[in-house]
Structure 1
Amino acid sequence: MTLQAKLDAFKADFEAGKPPYNRPHSVVETMHRATAELIASGQAERALKAGDKAPLFTLNDPQGIPVSSAELLLKGPLVLSFYRGVWCPYCNMELQALQETLPEFEALGANLVAISPQTAPNSRKSVRQNNLSFPILSDPHNAVAEAFGLRFAMPDYLIDVYKGFNNDLPTVNGDASWTLPMPSRYVIGQDGVILYAEVNPDYTRRPEPEDMLPSLRRARGL
């Protein structure tokens, strides 16, 4: 089953209110409204895209060790996944799919990292729960996401829904701003130029990990 097929099946169960979700239809409508407004804002179209220069960054991994994009790019192309957090089932399914494809990325000389606003303990939880062998880097205040054009502020009515889920993002992220990155996937060449970009204002839609392989092959001259 493809990643998107798994996401679609989860979404259908969630929106139908099947146990254990049991969400009122009004909650689903509110979440649809927020997604539609983010799409309509055009922010995804203004985010960095293929051909743009990627900003350099240094972020800590779950053990507090700094990871530099410049150093990773010395070794080969870099695959980035901007990840909303351990609380997001769609994101967790995406990380699992990326993990399954990791050997193919590595065979093409690429490194893979995920970037999330969540704190290190929550990233460690994500790594454990999803059986990951690649790091989730903590992006305080979504600063790197902002540099890529991905950071957005959640509307008040959506914050109320999240609070109803007991989803306390200020605690999860160590940041009171109630901001998130749009889920996004990038391939960056060793010269720092973005070779592939997919930005998803609809968090239920994700590209297949295999979609990045042609860009990685071109980066290797294959």
Structure 2
Amino acid sequence: MSLQAKLDAFKADFVAGKPPYNAPAAIHPVMARATAELIASGQAGRALKAGDKAPSFTLNDPDGKPVSSADLLAQGPLILSFYRGVWCPYCNMELQALQEALPAFQAAGAQLVAVSPQTAPNSRKSMRNNNLQFPILGDTRNDVAAAFGLRFALPDYLVDLYTMLKNDLPTFNGDPSWTLPMPARYVIAQDGTILYAEVNPDYTHRPEPEDMLHVLQAA
């Protein structure tokens, strides 16, 4: 089953309120409104795209070790997956799919890292829960996401909903700003040129990991 098929099946069960989710029906129109407004804003179209130069960065891994994009690119092409956090089931399913594809990425000489605003303990939890063999780097305040054009502020009504659902982003992220990255995936060549970019303001839609293989093989 494809990643998107798995996401669609999860969403159908979640919206239907099937166990173990039992989500209140009233939350779904609120989430749909926020997604529609983010799409309408056009921000995804302004994010960095193929042909642009990727910004350089240095971020800490979950153990506090600095990891620089320059060092990663010295080893080969770089895959970046922007990850909202441990609380997002869609994001966790995507990480699992990327983990399954990791041997193919490595065979093409690529490095894979996820980038998330969450705190290091939450990144360690994400790595354990999803059995990851690639790191999640901590992007405090979503500064790297902003450099790629991905950071957005949640509208007040969505903040209220997340608070009700106990998705307390300031606690998850160690940052009071209530911002997130739009889900995005990039392939960056060793000279810093973006070869592949997939940005979607609808967090329930993610590209297939295999979509990047032809780009990596060409690189």
Structure 1: give runs of 5+ residues left out of the alignment: none
Which string of whole-angstrom CA distances, capped at 9 and with x for unpartnered residues, describes residues 112-150 of structure 1? 000000000000000000000000000000000000000
Which string of whole-angstrom CA distances, capped at 9 and with x for unpartnered residues, describes residues 22-41 of structure 1? 22222100000000000000
How many residue pairs get aligned? The number is 219
Query: What does residue range 142-221 of structure 1 map to in structure 2 within 5 Å?
Result: 142-219=142-219
Which residue is equivalent to 2:49?
49
Q: CA deviation at 1:200?
A: 1.0
SS at match of 1:22: coil
Point out the more displaced range, 81-90 or 22-31. Answer: 22-31
SS at match of 2:196: strand
Q: CA deviation at 1:19?
A: 1.6
Distance in 2, Cα, partners of 1:24 & 1:56: 42
The normalised TM-score by structure 2 is: 0.99
Which string of whole-angstrom CA distances, capped at 9 and with x for unpartnered residues, describes residues 137-173 of structure 1? 0000000000000000000101111111111100000
Distance in 2, Cα, partners of 1:44 & 1:15: 25
SS at match of 1:196: strand
Which residue is equivalent to 1:62?
62
Which string of whole-angstrom CA distances, capped at 9 and with x for unpartnered residues, describes residues 1-34 of structure 1? 1000000000000111112222222210000000
Structure 2: give runs of 5+ residues left out of the alignment: none
Q: CA deviation at 1:92?
A: 0.2
Given residue 206 of structure 2, which amino acid in structure 1 is its aligned partner? R
SS at match of 2:161: helix
SS at match of 2:59: strand
Query: What does residue range 27-176 of structure 1 map to in structure 2 within 5 Å?
Result: 27-176=27-176
Distance in 1, Cα, partners of 2:100 & 2:192: 26
Which residue is equivalent to 2:2?
2
Q: CA deviation at 1:64?
A: 0.4
Structure 1 moving runs of 4+ over 4 Å = none
Distance in 1, Cα, partners of 2:81 & 2:191: 19
Given residue 149 of structure 2, which amino acid in structure 1 is its aligned partner? G
User: Please, what is the CA RMSD of the aligned residues?
Assistant: 0.5
SS at match of 2:109: coil
SS at match of 1:75: coil
Q: CA deviation at 1:105?
A: 0.4
Which residue is equivalent to 1:24?
24
Identity of aligned residues (%): 78
